[in-house]
Amino acid sequence: MVTWVLVADNSRARLFSAEKPASPLVEFRDFTSPEGRLHEGDLVTDKRGRDQNPASGVLHGLDPATTRKQDTADRFALQVCEELEMARSRAELTKLYIVAAPAFLGLLRRNQPAKLRQTIAGEIDKNLTTQDPKMIRKHLPDYL
């Protein structure tokens, strides 16, 4: 049984596999979301909307319910979960460990189908996307 390890943040997701429980990790897939690295001002060129209080006549800036950066991260998490679900449905994925930046881990949890959630053997809330496979392996259990 091959174990998969997802290492992700809001702009990059890397997939690794381990042939045996104590095997080293081998990277086999890399997803990127270039928009995830941009600042909010680079994603949106419009100014915030404004509203006037009828009683006092004072103008107030309106904040959106979610920012464009949050929307971008949520779409990327959905894309990653869809890829994982397709692999699970083809029986390529039976056991999964997730290592993700804390905020992105929450987005992944929110977008996971129930059947994919059943394959998750463990989660680590750390951003290790820039680390090499040996360093990532040190954060995982000795036997996957």
Q: Out of 13-27, 28-42, 63-77, 117-131, pick the least confident.
A: 28-42
In percent, the amount of the chain with pLDDT more than 70 equals 78
73-127 pLDDT, tens digit each: 999 999 999 999 999 999 999 999 999 999 999 999 999 999 999 999 999 999 9
Residue type present at position 86: M
Beta-bridge mates of residue 97: 5, 122
| d(C-alpha 61, C-alpha 52), whole Å | 9
Residue 39: predicted pLDDT: 46
Q: pTM of the predicted model, to two decimals? A: 0.80
Of the listed ranges 4-8, 24-28, 33-37, 81-85, the one predicted with least confidence: 33-37
Per-domain residue ranges of the chain: 3-33+67-138
Q: Report how far residue 80's alpha carbon sits from residue 11's, in angstroms, rounded to the nearest whole number.
A: 11
Q: Return the pLDDT at 23.
A: 92
- Rounded to whole angstroms, the Cα distance separating 143 from 71 reads 36
Q: What span, in angstroms and rounded, lies between the C-alpha atoms of 70 and 99? A: 19
Whether the predicted pLDDT of 41 surpasses 70:
no
d(CA 115, CA 19): 22
- What is the band of 54 on the pLDDT scale with cuts at 50, 70, 90? low
Q: Which residue, 66, 69, 140, 73, is CA-closest to 108?
A: 73
- For residue 131, pLDDT beyond 70: yes
- The predicted pLDDT at position 33 comes to 85
**CA atoms lying within 13 Å on the CB side of residue 81:** 23
- Assign a CATH topology to domain 3-33+67-138: Nucleotidyltransferase; domain 5 (3.30.420)
Give 65's DSSP letter. S
Amino acid found at 138: K
